[in-house]
């Protein structure tokens, strides 16, 4: 086995460049959109963004705990079905 086969290679493929471009557009759009909302509505929007972020973090923690306790090959919808 040749050791040069195990080396990392420099280079980006077309799909890598596409994903970087998409992430840049989405990130810039969220940044500008959030700035417009904060400018329009004031500090109440910051509180609502914070509340939504905390809610999202709590939901993801709950899903993580459920998947650690009872792993399954299905999606997270299975946990919702089982809990409800």
The model's pLDDT over 9-66, given as tens digits with 9 standing for 90+, comes to: 888 899 999 999 999 999 898 888 888 888 898 889 889 989 999 999 999 998 889 8
16: left (phi over 0), alpha (psi -120 to 50) or beta: alpha
With a CB cutoff of 8 Å and minimum separation 6, the contacts of 67 are 76, 79
The model's pLDDT over 32-48, given as tens digits with 9 standing for 90+, comes to: 888 888 889 888 988 99
For residue 83, CA distances in Å to 63, 79, 80 come to 11, 6, 5
**Biggest CA pair distance of the chain:** 63
Answer with the residue of higher pLDDT: 28 or 80.
Answer: 28
């Amino acid at each position: 086995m040749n050791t040069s086969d195990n080396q990392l290679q420099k280079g980006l493929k077309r799909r890598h460049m596409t994903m970087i471009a998409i992430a840049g557009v989405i990130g810039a759009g969220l940044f500008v959109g959030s700035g417009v909302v904060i400018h329009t509505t004031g500090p109440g929007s910051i509180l609502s963004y914070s509340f939504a972020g905390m809610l999202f973090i709590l939901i993801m923690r709950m899903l993580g705990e459920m998947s650690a306790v009872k792993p399954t090959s299905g999606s997270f919808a299975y946990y919702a079905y089982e809990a409800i």
